[in-house]
Amino acid sequence: MYELYTVLAEYYDAIYRRRVERVKEEIDFVEEIFKNDAKREIKKILDLACGTGIPTVELARRGYEVTGLDLHEEMLTVAKKKAEREGLNIEFIHGDALDMDFENEFDAVTMFFSSIMYFDENAIKELFNSVIKALEPGGVFVADFPCWYYGRSDRPIVWNAEKGEERLIITDWREVEPATQKLHFKRLVQIINPNGEVRAFFVHDVLNIYTVREMKLLAKEYFEDVKIYGNLKRSLSPNDQRYWLVGIAP
């Protein structure tokens, strides 16, 4: 289930090159949220499910004191190498977002790349509780998640990527179970080396689908104020394909 974050960790940025390319735009938007929604100045940030550090490193580049936490050591190894190459002082922690010891330590907690979809209704309540404990009063939690409708696909999606001299062929399938609100995300990654040898890995993740209304109702049990924004703007439109949850700690 977690092959994408373990054996394929070194290929993660190549597979998600489009997210890498637009991370600056996403952090620009998150900084708008920091300035307009948080009730305290944002200096210290906890980035949950930080993975290979794509947003974590960008936040550190902008002068924030950042801590990255992830469940997978392989992803953190890649993230640490990035930070070292750029001379960035980022603390990376191997840990579970549901089992954190932080208490009123951060001005902001972030969770990017739809990672919140890995948490079902019970787990997401535990997550919100952990986030509230980690945040200073007036601090902000920011997490993105997709519109379920745009998560489905009627046919496989295929594209190519490169990492050094290796070529990657990625094939995705997405199947939605409306009754259970589950998204089956299936991916075949074929890695072809210069000699023509092929290694193949199959990933099957089961993610949880939340509507805007459901996410807002769940978050309101924990946060003093909750807003949902669409795409990269501080408003919500009917055709938005991605949402941003913003919660303010009491």
Instruction: For 217-246, write each residue's pLDDT tens digit.
Output: 999 999 999 999 999 999 999 889 999 999
CA distances from 187 to 6, 28, 164, 193 (A): 14, 30, 21, 19
Residue 10 DSSP symbol? G
For strands 106-111 and 198-208, give the pairing.
unpaired
The residue that leads in pLDDT, 109 or 3, is: 109
Partners of 162 in the β-ladder: 167
Phi-psi region of 4 (alpha: psi -120 to 50; beta: other; left: phi over 0): alpha
Please state, in angstroms and rounded to a whole number, the distance separating the CA atoms of residues 117 and 246: 15
Residue 203 DSSP SS3 = strand
Is 106 in contact with 46 (CB distance < 8 Å)?
A: yes
Average pLDDT over the chain, rounded to an integer: 95
pLDDT higher than 70, residue 152: no
pLDDT for 151 equals: 55
pLDDT for 36 equals: 98
pLDDT higher than 60, residue 8: yes
Domains within the chain, CATH numbers bracketed? 3-148+211-248 (3.40.50.150), 150-208 (2.20.25.110)
| pLDDT band at residue 6 under the 50/70/90 scheme | very high
Secondary element (H or E) of residue 167: strand 166-177
Beta-carbon contacts of residue 30 (< 8 Å; ≥ 6 apart):
110, 142
Residue type at position 204: H
User: If you count them, how many residues does the chain have?
Assistant: 250
pLDDT for 142 equals: 98
Instruction: For 49-78, write each residue's pLDDT tens digit.
Output: 999 999 999 999 999 999 999 999 999 999
| Mean pLDDT of all residues in 205-209 | 95
| Mean pLDDT of all residues in 150-178 | 88
Instruction: For 78-126, write each residue's pLDDT tens digit.
Output: 999 999 999 999 999 999 999 999 999 999 999 999 999 999 999 999 9
Is 77 in contact with 9 (CB distance < 8 Å)?
A: yes
| pLDDT band at residue 2 under the 50/70/90 scheme | confident
pLDDT for 115 equals: 97
